Amino acid sequence: MCGIVGYVGKRNSQNILIEGLKKLEYRGYDSAGLAVFTEEGLQIKKAKGRLVNLENKLDVEPLNGFIGIGHTRWATHGKPSDVNSHPHTDNSQKFSVVHNGIIENYVALKEELTALGHVFVSETDTEVISHLIASLYEGDIVKAVQKAVTRMHGAFALGVLTEYEPDKLVAVRYSSPLIIGVGEGENFIGSDIPAILEYTRNVYILNDGEMAVLTKDGVELMTLEGNFISRELFYVDWDIITAEKAGFDHFMLKEIYEQPKAYRDTMGSRIDESGTKVVLNEVKMTAEQVKSIQQVHIIACGTAYHAGLVGKSIIEKLARIPVETDVASEYRYRSPIITPNTLVIVVSQSGETADTLAALREAKRCGARVVAITNVVGSSVAREADDVIVTWAGPEIAVASTKAYTSQLIAFYLFGLYLAQTLGSQEAEYIASVVSELKELPAKVEQILEQGEAFKDWAEQVASHNNLFFIGRGLDYAVALEGSLKLKEISYIHSEAYPAGELKHGTLALIEEGVPVIALAIQDDLFEKTVSNIKEVKARGAYVFGLHAEGETELVKAVDQVFSIPHTLPLLSPALSVVPLQLLAYYASLARGNDVDKPRNLAKSVTVE
């Protein structure tokens, strides 16, 4: 996730900015940069890769000055490179901007500014902001920023400097976090508290739609419309480790709670302004190429494979093309039938998983077109695929994948809709209704997370067992597989996910008095069948925790405990129903005293076969 630091005061800003960025390194980044107002005016230095690359450049040519902004970038729009790194500037080089978030309408703004003579050098959405502010500047940077943000759609936290007003640092928060640190004769901005904790513990937390103007002598808070705000300072009593996790006990929990934002960011500019269809500019297939697809192979490992199982149902339902989902380590050894009319989709959070990469290469060798769904721009998978749909979940630090999985689901919904639009396999009205429900998902996840603590109780009951089952049918079964993996991975409790209707063919023998069964009964059309299967395990003594959709009244009679999730289209339900299972795994791991973020025997990125 990108990191922002800003400083205005009496000390050398370069050192403070670099130290602040070092405190944000744990979040992951692929390039970094600083802009400082020096004797020569506003100067920028940027470098791809680790911060040390930037430091090496600064050793040769330091940026000496008392006001500056710094940034660590996690690429979303455009590959990791010096030129795509922040800070960005305009053609006059008098303005400089660091940005976290995504500008959804940057293409339209870029076209408008290009027509006015602006020349862009990077592939980023952020560069548009510096040009936009420059174009609106009439002697007052605060007003220029206020005007610019009215033109921007999406999520943004900004730090802005101009050479014309070298005593001011302007900060904006809109759907992307930003805090203001208040010192004596110096003030700071940071995307996260660790960036400034070494210098001050007094902060203002900006709310969405607020901005701040910092000089060395003070901080003014105001709305984006310019109305001044008075606010109490917040004293941060966290240590650095707690601050890195934004107050959460573990990165996994933080990342579970980041899912609504990850959904919104991943949908971002990919839903058109009318809110009725999907725009996937990054997929460069022609309509003819899409129409020639005869089969789809989805290949991935672990959690990404589970996302692929949901992806199969999405594509088959929306595009009516046959889909096979395969574990990458099996795929290339089973002589898969790949033809030039096969579309291969590889899914990988890291983009570096050895088995997935090898399967991608095999698919390409056989002449298939490959689409990658990945969270890392510039990863091996992203570089080698023909088309790349980036999930904008931000870096995932916990080994257990949560927000990456759900963002992969969002990518599949978008891709399935894109195929349906191109093929005409669904009515425009139906597509619009799916898009409209898709947009509701982040708020519905928030509703589930508000009740997150409810899962502590479930988890504590489950944690004393060594074996349990997850059951479901259809998409509920696909989600059950992910719930089971999550539980195994971090709690070390053995669990099995089973298609509920399949238990009677053998596994029912393992159900005895008190065995916990987590039953998903979300899919409307399979509800009654699932309830019958739940009765089968109940009759053999299982203790059943049920998940159902809000408004459903029957499940409560069949299970021991029940939790409801908000209602959505059955096809979209995995993006909601997995969240309680992630929380269940998290709290079960906690109840067993495990190291949640670093489970035994596992690595975040598996780069060996």
User: Taking CB under 6 A as the rule, does residue 329 contact ligand M6R?
Assistant: no
Query: What is the nearest approach in angstroms of ligand M6R to the Cβ of residue 347?
Result: 7
Which is catalytic among the residues 2, 168, 301, 312? Answer: 2
Phi/psi of residue 34, each to 5°?
A: -135, 150
User: Taking CB under 6 A as the rule, does residue 379 contact ligand M6R?
Assistant: no
User: Taking CB under 6 A as the rule, does residue 597 contact ligand M6R?
Assistant: no
Going from the C-alpha of 589 to that of each of 253, 272, 486, 488, 596, the distances in angstroms are 12, 41, 10, 9, 6
Cβ closest to ligand M6R, residue 124 vs residue 349: 349
Cβ closest to ligand M6R, residue 51 vs residue 300: 300
> In the beta sheet, which residues pair with residue 426?
none
* Span near ligand M6R by CB under 6 A; candidates 3-11, 187-195, 207-215, 395-403: 395-403
User: Taking CB under 6 A as the rule, does residue 354 contact ligand M6R?
Assistant: no
Cβ closest to ligand M6R, residue 258 vs residue 489: 489
Helix boundaries (H) for 323-453: 328-331, 354-365, 380-384, 403-423, 428-450
Separation of alpha carbons 46 and 87, rounded Å: 8
Separation of alpha carbons 514 and 542, rounded Å: 5
* Span near ligand M6R by CB under 6 A; candidates 6-14, 121-129, 302-310, 451-459: 302-310
Query: What is the nearest approach in angstroms of ligand M6R to the Cβ of residue 356?
Result: 5
Separation of alpha carbons 170 and 340, rounded Å: 53
* Span near ligand M6R by CB under 6 A; candidates 169-177, 207-215, 246-254, 344-352: 344-352
Active-site annotation holds for 2: yes
Rounded to the nearest 10 degrees, the angle between the axes of helix 428-450 and helix 574-591 is 20
Of residues 488 through 547, those in contact with ligand M6R by CB under 6 A are 489
* Span near ligand M6R by CB under 6 A; candidates 72-80, 206-214, 296-304, 540-548: 296-304
Separation of alpha carbons 434 and 276, rounded Å: 8
Separation of alpha carbons 196 and 74, rounded Å: 20
User: Taking CB under 6 A as the rule, does residue 353 contact ligand M6R?
Assistant: yes
The 242-281 site mask, x for binding ligand M6R (CB under 6 A), equals ----------------------------------------
For residue 326, what are its two tokens? 């395969």
Cβ closest to ligand M6R, residue 126 vs residue 350: 350
Assess contact for 362 and 375: CB atoms under 8 A: no
Query: What is the nearest approach in angstroms of ligand M6R to the Cβ of residue 125?
Result: 25
Cβ closest to ligand M6R, residue 259 vs residue 348: 348
Query: What is the nearest approach in angstroms of ligand M6R to the Cβ of residue 4?
Result: 26
Active-site annotation holds for 529: no
Query: What is the nearest approach in angstroms of ligand M6R to the Cβ of residue 203?
Result: 33
* Span near ligand M6R by CB under 6 A; candidates 45-53, 397-405, 519-527, 562-570: 397-405
> Which residue in the set 17, 21, 278, 304 belongs to the binding site for ligand M6R (CB under 6 A)?
304
> Which residue in the set 93, 122, 447, 605 belongs to the binding site for ligand M6R (CB under 6 A)?
605
> Which residue in the set 162, 329, 342, 401 belongs to the binding site for ligand M6R (CB under 6 A)?
401
> Which residue in the set 6, 154, 302, 574 belongs to the binding site for ligand M6R (CB under 6 A)?
302
Query: What is the nearest approach in angstroms of ligand M6R to the Cβ of residue 247?
Result: 23
Query: What is the nearest approach in angstroms of ligand M6R to the Cβ of residue 300?
Result: 6
Cβ closest to ligand M6R, residue 112 vs residue 330: 330
46 by Cβ neighbours in 10 Å (0-12 / 13-18 / 19+) ranks as buried
> Which residue in the set 8, 24, 47, 301 belongs to the binding site for ligand M6R (CB under 6 A)?
301
Place of tokens 């959709």: 549
> Which residue in the set 58, 399, 438, 549 belongs to the binding site for ligand M6R (CB under 6 A)?
399
> Which residue in the set 135, 176, 349, 533 belongs to the binding site for ligand M6R (CB under 6 A)?
349
314 by Cβ neighbours in 10 Å (0-12 / 13-18 / 19+) ranks as buried
Cβ closest to ligand M6R, residue 301 vs residue 522: 301
Query: What is the nearest approach in angstroms of ligand M6R to the Cβ of residue 493?
Result: 15
> Which residue in the set 400, 478, 534, 576 belongs to the binding site for ligand M6R (CB under 6 A)?
400
Separation of alpha carbons 539 and 526, rounded Å: 20
For residue 394, what are its two tokens? 């931000």
Q: Which strands, in side-by-side order, build the sheet including 3-8?
A: 41-48, 31-38, 67-73, 3-8, 187-190, 179-182, 202-205, 234-235
> Which residue in the set 348, 495, 568, 582 belongs to the binding site for ligand M6R (CB under 6 A)?
348
User: Taking CB under 6 A as the rule, does residue 407 contact ligand M6R?
Assistant: no
Query: What is the nearest approach in angstroms of ligand M6R to the Cβ of residue 609?
Result: 12
Separation of alpha carbons 209 and 204, rounded Å: 14
Going from the C-alpha of 117 to that of each of 85, 113, 114, 317, the distances in angstroms are 23, 7, 5, 46
Assess contact for 475 and 310: CB atoms under 8 A: yes
What does the DSSP 8-state code read for residue 271? B
Going from the C-alpha of 284 to that of each of 266, 290, 295, 418, the distances in angstroms are 18, 10, 18, 12
Q: State the number of binding residues for ligand M6R (CB under 6 A).
A: 16
Closest by Cα among 201, 222, 225 to 211: 222
The residue whose Cβ lies closest to ligand M6R is: 302
Which is catalytic among the residues 57, 488, 535, 604? Answer: 604
Cβ closest to ligand M6R, residue 164 vs residue 492: 492
> Which residue in the set 187, 200, 356, 523 belongs to the binding site for ligand M6R (CB under 6 A)?
356
* Span near ligand M6R by CB under 6 A; candidates 109-117, 396-404, 469-477, 523-531: 396-404
- Decide: helix, strand or coil at residue 329: helix
User: Taking CB under 6 A as the rule, does residue 130 contact ligand M6R?
Assistant: no
Assess contact for 30 and 51: CB atoms under 8 A: no
Assess contact for 584 and 455: CB atoms under 8 A: yes
Going from the C-alpha of 342 to that of each of 315, 329, 370, 420, the distances in angstroms are 14, 19, 9, 17
Query: What is the nearest approach in angstroms of ligand M6R to the Cβ of residue 254?
Result: 15
202 by Cβ neighbours in 10 Å (0-12 / 13-18 / 19+) ranks as middle
Task: Sort strands 228-229 and 218-223 into parallel, antiparallel or unpaired.
Answer: antiparallel
Number of CB atoms found within 10 A of residue 340's CB: 10
Residues in contact with ligand M6R by CB under 6 A are 301-304, 348-350, 353, 356, 399-401, 489, 602, 605-606
Give the catalytic positions in this structure.
Answer: 2, 604
